[in-house]
Structure 1
Amino acid sequence: MIILLYFGIEHTQSQRNEVQCSNHDATHKLILSHDGKVSEHWAKAPGNFSKTRLVKELGSLNIVQIACGGQHAMALSRGGELFTWGQNTHGQLGLGSQTTFIPQARLVERLRGVPLAQIAAGGAHSTTVSLSGAVYSWGKNNFGQLGLGDTEDRDCPSYVEALEHWKTVFISCGADHTAVLSKEGLVCTFGAGGAGQLGHNSTRNELMPRVVAELWGARVSRVACGRQHTLVYVPSLDKFYFFGSDDEGQPQDKRKPKQLIPLPINPPVKSGNSCQENNRSQKGIKITAGVKKSFVLCEENQNSHLNGIATLTDKKVDEWISNYSSEVCKRAKMNIRLIFSSEACINGSFLQERDKHFKTSKEFSGVDISKVKRFYKNIIKKPELYQEVQKEIDNLLPSLSSSPISPENLRVYLILPFILQGKDGSSYHSLRLLAQAIMKLQPEDLQILACLCSNLETSFFKELVSLYQRVCQENLSRFIKEFHNYGPREPFKLSPDETAPLQILQMLYQVNSRTGFRVEESNFYIPDVKQIIQFCQFLNNAVALWTLSKYPCIFDAQDRMDAHRAECEFLFTQHCVLSLIFADITGTDTGAQWEFHVRRECFLQDIWNNLERASTQEFRRTLRVVFVGEQGWDDGGLSQELFTIAARTLCQPGTSAFRHFTSGLVWFPSKASGCEDENTFFQIGTLCGMALYNQRMMPIPFPRAFYKKLLGLPPTLEDLEELLPTAGRILWGILNEECDRILESMDIDFTIMEEGDSMDVVELKKNGANIPVTRYNRKEYVDLYVNYVFNASVQKPFQDFMRGFLRGCPARNWKMFLPAELQVVLQGHTAVDWHLLEKNVVYRLYNESDKTIQDFWNVFHELPEEKKKMFLGFLSGSDRIPAYQLECFKFVIADAEANNPDEIYPSASTCSLIFFLPRYSSKSILKEKLLYAIEHNEGFGLA
């Protein structure tokens, strides 16, 4: 038997039943039976509502907790669902509805997925606590009883940020105030304080949670709120403490003084069943506050008096596995169905021990992944049970919340991959469903999930990457198989279940990038991408590549270059087809190539004139350079020479296009007005874009920050140090300086000296000249400094450049490149393996064993590096090797006597990857002629 006192009346009830009455009036009572069914009784039923009824709309749910408010009710199911009904004049039902009265129990959707530990109802407000101590409140807030710092009502659950990481384990509501208990035994109160019910030695209302100072260090174990009073129990002292007023309704002359601070009281007990006899210091104590009276409940069961939602424990799974039988299997399946059909139950399982999960936030999930892996390792031993787990998960995934209220909701997305880590078709199917559920999340929630992933242990993060990489690999393998069997899909479109895992993998790649590449990039690559690129080239269709280019992480460096080249070839072919159609219609053939006529003596001016006259469509054509007065055919060498000379000319210190730095790098001017033409950077950008589209190099010595900006990535202090080494070292010193006095002696403020004729001082922020740099704002100062150099000061010229760049390069797959890769694509490799170059040569009417060939290579390898680079420049138009790797760089050595170069290249200044070598009898003569050809930029055939 259990003895309880409430409203001053003595009651007896079965130990397996729970009664919850409104602690604000005697009109409403909930009864929870031993089998989880809820009934309610109204002394004065509102409207046409029945006085007593079974809450049938809760169906077959097993209810584990109930709570009564002034005229509203709450019920928590074992499956983690919260239901509310009754009066809703202040939004106390949390349904987001303005309906004043809702008679039928409804699910509080906003809290779906949050693993709730406890629920509580006030006069017209409601609160809940999660297993990890997160507090949510809603409803009436005229006294600040929601703890949100204001007095506005809420009709949806709101997170009480002030209690974050406070390790809340219990909460109680009065008519208009709230009390919160932490795991360490601290008590916070907030809301109405007019009767002293907050215990702060005042009658002031509190809009934010405030610790009851008088109870500091007392380690309270129980707390309960009445209408205008609060009661707590301190087990170490075996005492109950009271504060507030319990005599509302008494005549003024008979009221007791308000108790403003906690003072000990002696609670009423039933003779023969004394709480002292049952040892109140045990966990079986439960206290409840009523309208005017409070009661003490002494339970023989020493476990928590709160029944919780279903969660999974190692002990429970071990019992399933070790004592496996048909009866155990039946019970295990029932538990599995309950837990894995519930987002909240999954989120409440596998928590980190030793209170670590109380730190759950946007940066920390509170999940112990090793527990999840241990569960998978055990459950997979019983395929019958694992199949049940997988079936329930598959049923749950489509219904996961797309707008979670808490980081605790997001645990499910970290837990399930490690439970679905099999390598069979069913596991891949489940992971695809999971990926689709993740991609339904709002962008801000995806960012939180990405942050939670970034804080996983490296081994777990790597395994997560591997799981989604395998799914993506299986998807693309299936795509390729279908291509072989049925031909290409129209129009090469991937389905949502194929793209979702790719999106997850790309998100994980971005996380990996931000955290310093803890996992090697090769873990993200998908080998089958190479076949898809080949299909696209074979079919001359780049649609699949455009789709996959959204997920550059699956491409290795060579794949990205091949994809870029394939897209350029497709756009060129597409233009040729349209040109033929246009020619048939109009009789005008625009041609497949764009002839770019340039005079060497008017080099840049002719380039700008060609660009100004060009239409948008001409940039899709293949560039063919003609140097006026020179009869040579552009087979790649002449166009490369144009870009090489253009880059060298634009970077000459005498020109006004770029600023030059001691680092040897160039950058945009702070004021574009100093340029000869306001379109200068638009034209330069166009020329650089053309180089990329035509797969040529444009070796302007830009810093790495330039390529980051092209790709939409923010430059960093490391990038500034590359451009301005001295300034970079100073800024690093400011960031690392720990002595305030030294920082003050530097006399630095939020300004920067603008280089130029007038040496203007520019403020990095408003009133920056009057803001000194200190330890507390130095990070902001450095960030603003970097931003000014790379962004704010060059905004106009870079925008002009970017517009031109996109005009000059109609392809878009180049955005897949990493900054370092794009830099190599446009600037080329400066280091050359000359022996590999020799290996790649193709001979025409020569054999590798011929004496002339052997003498040539002996002479060549003896040349200094500078002369070798000059030879490469003469041969290809640049002294650099293209990014498409030296293995792919080939040139021809032809017999100049059998192949008359005058017939093919009568007077070309660049021999376009064909080198005419006469047969010389003397090695010394060959060396002399080779040096002459290199230094005078002439081929042997012309000697």
Structure 2
Amino acid sequence: MLCLSWGDVRRVDSESPEVLGHMQLKRSKVQCSNHTETHKLILFPDGKLSEHWARDPAVWSTTRLVKELETKDIVQIACGNHHSMALSRGGVLFTWGKNIHGQLGLGSQTPFISQPQVVKTLKGISLAQIAAGGSHSVTVSLSGAVYSWGKNDFGQLGLGDTKDRDCPSYVGALEHWKTVFISCGADHTAVLSKEGLVCTFGAGGAGQLGHNSTRNELKPRVVAELWGARVSQVACGRQYTLVYVPSLEKVYFFGSDEGQLGDKRKTNQLIPLPTNSPVNTGKYCQGGKKSEKVIELTAEGKQTIVLGKKRKNLNRIATLQDEVNVWLSDPSLQRWETIKMNIRLIFSSEACINGSFLEKRDKHFKTSKEVSGVDMSQVQHFYKKISKTPKVLREVQKEIEKLLPSLSSSPISPENFRVYLILPFLLQGEDDSSYHLLMLLAQAIMKLQPKDQQTLECLWSNLETPFFKQLVILYQRVSQKILCQFLKEIRDCQRNPFDLHPREAAVLQILQNLHQVNSRTGFRVQENNFHVPQVKPFIQLYWFFSAQKMSQWQLTKYPFIFDMKDKIDIHDKECIALSTRRAMVGIFCIREQEWWLFPVRRQHLLQDIWTHLNNAPTQQFKKILKVLFVGEEGVDHGGLVQELFSVAARTLCHPDTGAFRRVPSGLAWFPSQASSSKETFFQIGTLCGMALYNRRMAPFPFPTALYKKLLGLAPALEDLEELWPATGRNLQRILDEERDEIFGILSMNFTIMEEGDSMVTVELKKHGANVPVTRDNRKEFVDLYVNYVFNDSIRKPFEDFMQGFLKGCPATKWKMFLPVELQTVLQGCTKFDWHLLEKNVNYIQYEKLDLTIRNFWTVFHKLPEKKKEKFLAFLSGSDRIPGYEQENFTFQIADPQVANPDEVCLKANTCSRILFLPRYSTRRILQKELLYAIEHNKSFGLA
């Protein structure tokens, strides 16, 4: 190897490094060395690492083998003035030596630590290079993230201040800089980007930063004189910096020249200027073959070495490269031990896993809280490959199992989170072992701090839909497995039916977090991918438990695993349990349901309802409602109470009542300047809660936003568009607009015109009238607009409504519903499949093909849609089908069996959904009676 040197360096020979400084070594190959004037590390190919200390540059007084690292397979070393760094192939960074400035990165400033210690904070970061300054340390990851710690009196850490750090800190100013190389001087740092740009920071008193000044820089600053030069190498000495520009075949210098350069120039060089180094970087012939030579710079203390040699990458940590093909092509017994050792090296290390599967074409340099930098298709491809060789797959999963308990619980970088994305796809088998490992992984994820879990969820949200869906399916399968086992243990009397093990709860919590991500990202994955059918036996199991016991049922904390019918069953069971009174009859304990008799006059319906609600004690609302329309026949078995809620909703939504604000969509919404008293919305809320508790519909035409607010969820722009379609579309256009001049033409500011008795201008933020809407702040404007409509403008009436709702429905399991599910349960379905209705009918004293039946359906299907809806109200008390019965809604058609059918009108029992259909002889008569009945609503309730 060619060695050109200035200063106190004599010779470096690749076969026998005889002289380095003044230290004689035995003849042997040296893998790499690193040293300052008083401190030296030498790494030999056999893995031995020797450390040498000197009282002065002429006398090396202390030499020792670093035995603590003998088995660690060290690939990189670095020396500060009095501290050492060593990076293992397994991705672990070790430091030792003086630590008065925290330069070891161990979270303390213990003055001296003699033995190598793991820098735990960087655990899981795939380090590409390490570097040591006088009393500070810097590292760079494979994806260009830079971390610094130690002495910082000149800003050499690049963190914008002069405060020392005893733990690695992320240099945010270099985010997405694509750093590929770092070098440290005594008190300054230089970084090189993939594009060949150089940044420097720290002490600048000798001009070593190259900014044509002697000022210190607390943050990274580009060396402007090198802009466009595409630097390929950079090296820092004590108070100077060297860079190499291959296109010009020149080495440039800036800083304090103390004789290193071998030429005469002024002491402090403030900008990069070429040296007079006798370096030939052209192509040369070696053995008759052309080979391109490049420059490697080494600047150590007062010594500068320029080495001409073939390009060679830094020794790096182990990652998956071509090893996989070797593992699979020759897993012979002779090579198996070597293969196992390589698998163990990579898959026992977070850092090595995180450094594998990186996105190509430099995309991984953009790693952030939104971008993982992982090529998930590579992960999937790797799993498919190794799954064809079970021996290799088992070995990989065995090492993962050992790793899982030690995963980082306090990540410092988005790069740490790659392991949580990669591992599930390496454990996607359907055997017990894979399920067990996924449970352990779930526990590891749940140990993360809330802010770190949010970062992981953000990365999940940015997964491509097929990979996100696969992740959901993986944890759905594990959930199915654990619930099957849970149920078996309950039936075998081995488990308390109300207790979940922590590992089981962790799996369900992961699935819940994925469900929340799916909701926030527009339901990319269908809801049924989260359902776990194995919960159905549990619902039956808990039928006989009290409401108090049901509140302890932990599975209901994970509502996404239940389908809508399951949730309705749970809600029904809770309501029945709450309304049931236990009493002792002799030695027997019996349960009987309590009823609340609710007589009302049809002509004074609202008045009677409010009187009952105002006079009722809180405990009364736990009873099941039985309605009696004064002066009308019939006993309520469900139909009359439904009619009560239907008529009350229709009356309250009538413009004459004036309770609700009618909006362009035709839906009902709270008035922004509520003139009604508190009791109005409190009572309406109570009525809606009672409908839910009594498992009946309250068909108020509310938007989905109301049900989101009831469930504690924030309405969005799409909800505003549901209420005010034109306004919603206009706001969306504002978000989509990319032309700056349009915002100038619109002349909008942060105000909104509110309609009431008079037009009122409302500021969406302080001094909003003076803040124009621009392309940069438009999202804030839209968010504030939506917030004002759904929160600020209706705060009081909604709070009253919510309080009333909670009073009217003392049950709590309704909170399991999704907003659209709760809306469907309360409002019912307004779109029907009438042919499905015909298919579900049961007949009493009739056959399906009887002439009267065929005549009835012929007449019915010819009715206008509105008439059909009126028939539904005539039959069941509501013109809507309960949402949970849409597929199975049924009624009965019965023959009243009278002697003279012509004298009997068409009637319906709303309680039992029975239509009494006399045997008419013609369609004309049937049509006449049907139209008359539904127009005059001649239904009744019977026992």
The TM-score with structure 2 as length reference comes to 0.89
Residue 23 (structure 2) aligns with: none
The amino acid of 2:819's aligned partner reads: P
Residue 191 (structure 2) aligns with: 180
Residue 635 (structure 1) aligns with: 637
> Which is worse superposed, 775-784 or 107-116?
775-784
> Which is worse superposed, 524-533 or 181-190?
524-533
The aligned runs of 1:397-546 (5 Å cut-off) are: 397-484=404-491, 486-487=492-493, 489-537=495-543, 543=550, 546=553
Distance in 1 separating the partners of 2:843 and 2:282 = 107
1:131 aligns with one of 142, 152, 156: 142
Name the CA shift for 1:436/1:580 in 2 (closer, same or farther; >3 Å).
same
Asked if structure 2 preserves the Cα contact closer than 8 Å seen for 1:565 and 1:695, the reply is no
1:567 matched to 2:571? The reply is yes
Give, in angstroms, the shift of residue 745 of structure 1: 3.5
Name the CA shift for 1:353/1:847 in 2 (closer, same or farther; >3 Å).
closer
Residue 334 (structure 1) aligns with: 341
Residue 155 (structure 2) aligns with: 144
1:319 matched to 2:326? The reply is yes
Distance in 2 separating the partners of 1:206 and 1:523 = 54
Distance in 1 separating the partners of 2:338 and 2:325 = 13
Distance in 2 separating the partners of 1:283 and 1:114 = 33
Deviations 1:588-607 (A, max 9, x none): 99962222333333322332
How many pairs does the alignment contain? 912
Deviations 1:631-661 (A, max 9, x none): 5321111111111111112111122321112
The amino acid of 2:35's aligned partner reads: C
Equivalent position SS for 2:157: coil
Asked if structure 1 preserves the Cα contact closer than 8 Å seen for 2:207 and 2:256, the reply is yes
The aligned runs of 1:87-98 (5 Å cut-off) are: 87-98=98-109
Distance in 2 separating the partners of 1:697 and 1:192 = 74
Residue 25 (structure 2) aligns with: none
Residue 608 (structure 1) aligns with: 610
Distance in 2 separating the partners of 1:658 and 1:127 = 64
2:558 aligns with one of 551, 562, 568: 551
Give, in angstroms, the shift of residue 775 of structure 1: 3.0
Asked if structure 1 preserves the Cα contact closer than 8 Å seen for 2:34 and 2:40, the reply is yes
The amino acid of 1:568's aligned partner reads: D
1:303 matched to 2:312? The reply is yes
1:667 aligns with one of 658, 666, 669: 669
Residue 620 (structure 2) aligns with: 618
Residue 292 (structure 1) aligns with: 302
Residue 237 (structure 1) aligns with: 248
Structure 2 portions without partners, runs of 5+: 18-27, 901-906
Name the CA shift for 1:860/1:316 in 2 (closer, same or farther; >3 Å).
closer
Residue 903 (structure 1) aligns with: none
Equivalent position SS for 1:43: strand
Residue 595 (structure 1) aligns with: 597
Residue 35 (structure 1) aligns with: 46
Deviations 1:190-229 (A, max 9, x none): 1111110000111111111111122222222221111111
The amino acid of 1:622's aligned partner reads: I
Deviations 1:209-260 (A, max 9, x none): 11112222222222111111111222333322111014399xxxx9943100
Deviations 1:47-103 (A, max 9, x none): xxx943333443521211111112222111111111112222222221221423323
Distance in 2 separating the partners of 1:898 and 1:498 = 63
Distance in 2 separating the partners of 1:39 and 1:763 = 70
Name the CA shift for 1:154/1:530 in 2 (closer, same or farther; >3 Å).
same
Distance in 2 separating the partners of 1:104 and 1:383 = 41
Residue 399 (structure 2) aligns with: 392
Distance in 1 separating the partners of 2:213 and 2:291 = 30
Give, in angstroms, the shift of residue 368 of structure 1: 2.0
> Which is worse superposed, 739-748 or 123-132?
739-748
Instruction: Report percent identity of matched pairs.
Output: 65
1:879 matched to 2:886? The reply is no
Equivalent position SS for 1:715: coil
Deviations 1:141-196 (A, max 9, x none): 22211111222222211111211121111101111110001122211101111110
Distance in 1 separating the partners of 2:913 and 2:622 = 24
Equivalent position SS for 1:209: strand
Give, in angstroms, the shift of residue 691 of structure 1: 1.4
Name the CA shift for 1:692/1:75 in 2 (closer, same or farther; >3 Å).
same
2:119 aligns with one of 91, 103, 108: 108
1:84 matched to 2:84? The reply is no
Distance in 2 separating the partners of 1:571 and 1:939 = 28
Equivalent position SS for 2:533: coil
The amino acid of 2:169's aligned partner reads: S
Deviations 1:280-316 (A, max 9, x none): 99576432222223123455x6422x22111111x22
Distance in 1 separating the partners of 2:418 and 2:290 = 37
Distance in 2 separating the partners of 1:462 and 1:393 = 23
Residue 16 (structure 1) aligns with: 30
Residue 754 (structure 2) aligns with: 754
Residue 936 (structure 1) aligns with: 936
Distance in 1 separating the partners of 2:55 and 2:39 = 8
1:728 matched to 2:736? The reply is no
Name the CA shift for 1:318/1:773 in 2 (closer, same or farther; >3 Å).
same
Name the CA shift for 1:404/1:589 in 2 (closer, same or farther; >3 Å).
closer
Name the CA shift for 1:292/1:246 in 2 (closer, same or farther; >3 Å).
farther
Equivalent position SS for 1:624: strand
Residue 262 (structure 1) aligns with: 272
Residue 580 (structure 1) aligns with: 583
Name the CA shift for 1:616/1:96 in 2 (closer, same or farther; >3 Å).
farther
Asked if structure 1 preserves the Cα contact closer than 8 Å seen for 2:673 and 2:756, the reply is no
Distance in 2 separating the partners of 1:725 and 1:268 = 75
Name the CA shift for 1:213/1:335 in 2 (closer, same or farther; >3 Å).
same
Equivalent position SS for 1:10: coil
Name the CA shift for 1:325/1:3 in 2 (closer, same or farther; >3 Å).
farther
Equivalent position SS for 2:451: helix
Asked if structure 1 preserves the Cα contact closer than 8 Å seen for 2:876 and 2:911, the reply is yes
Give, in angstroms, the shift of residue 784 of structure 1: 1.8
Equivalent position SS for 1:404: coil
Name the CA shift for 1:53/1:808 in 2 (closer, same or farther; >3 Å).
farther
Give, in angstroms, the shift of residue 881 of structure 1: 0.6
The amino acid of 1:464's aligned partner reads: L
The amino acid of 2:753's aligned partner reads: M
Asked if structure 2 preserves the Cα contact closer than 8 Å seen for 1:564 and 1:813, the reply is no
Deviations 1:572-618 (A, max 9, x none): 225524x537x999x99996222233333332233233333434443
Distance in 2 separating the partners of 1:589 and 1:361 = 59
Equivalent position SS for 2:644: helix
The amino acid of 1:129's aligned partner reads: V
Deviations 1:531-581 (A, max 9, x none): 3334334767875995334434333xxx2233233233234225524x537
Name the CA shift for 1:219/1:276 in 2 (closer, same or farther; >3 Å).
farther
Name the CA shift for 1:939/1:364 in 2 (closer, same or farther; >3 Å).
closer
The amino acid of 1:410's aligned partner reads: F
Name the CA shift for 1:701/1:671 in 2 (closer, same or farther; >3 Å).
same
Residue 769 (structure 2) aligns with: 769
Name the CA shift for 1:591/1:553 in 2 (closer, same or farther; >3 Å).
closer
Give, in angstroms, the shift of residue 261 of structure 1: 0.7
The amino acid of 2:665's aligned partner reads: S
Distance in 2 separating the partners of 1:730 and 1:476 = 48
Equivalent position SS for 1:114: coil
Equivalent position SS for 2:86: strand
